[in-house]
Amino acid sequence: MVEDLNVAGMLRNRRLARRIADAGFAELRRQLAYKTAWNGGRLVVADRWYPSSKTCSACGAVKTKLALSERTYICTVCGLTLDRDVNAARNLAALAAEVDTAGSGPVAGGGADRKTRQGGPVAVKRQPGIASASKTGTVPPQGGTSNHMLTKAS
């Protein structure tokens, strides 16, 4: 489960821009996508507007505003006090569990990863070994003549 972040918007913050640009979020997401597909899994992407940080992981109440400077999430309804990132991680884990039990489809209204193909061919690791001569492709077998060079000499 990953969250689709508004990286272009975060780059406008002068204090965070260099660190965000250095993080390489696109490369991280690309690698997660191909490695989950490689291992037969599925990458679930939460919509960029899903309120993972603003939602209480205990009662589900959603705050209307939450400043970036507020690093501790305090729920006004149930009184839960938790690190903001831990709260968001719990919400994303709950969303992933919902998607897993519900089957498939976009998460939180259309923010699913459209570049990652669901299903289709899965990459298979090639095992070392020697291929038989009939399965080597266009390269003739070693140590002898190829069939196309044989002609009737007699």
pLDDT at 115: 44
Report the C-alpha gap between 139 and 150 in whole angstroms: 16
pLDDT at 112: 40
Cα dist from 84 to 3, 45, 81, whole Å: 15, 20, 9
pLDDT at 50: 92
Q: Pick from 23-32, 52-61, 111-120, 128-137 the range whose average pLDDT is largest.
A: 52-61
Report the C-alpha gap between 107 and 103 in whole angstroms: 11
Average pLDDT, rounded, for the chain: 77
Confidence of residue 133 (pLDDT cuts 50, 70, 90): low
pLDDT at 8: 85
Segment 72-118, tens digit of pLDDT:
999 999 999 999 999 999 999 999 998 878 765 444 444 444 444 44
pTM (2 d.p.)? 0.60
pLDDT at 110: 40
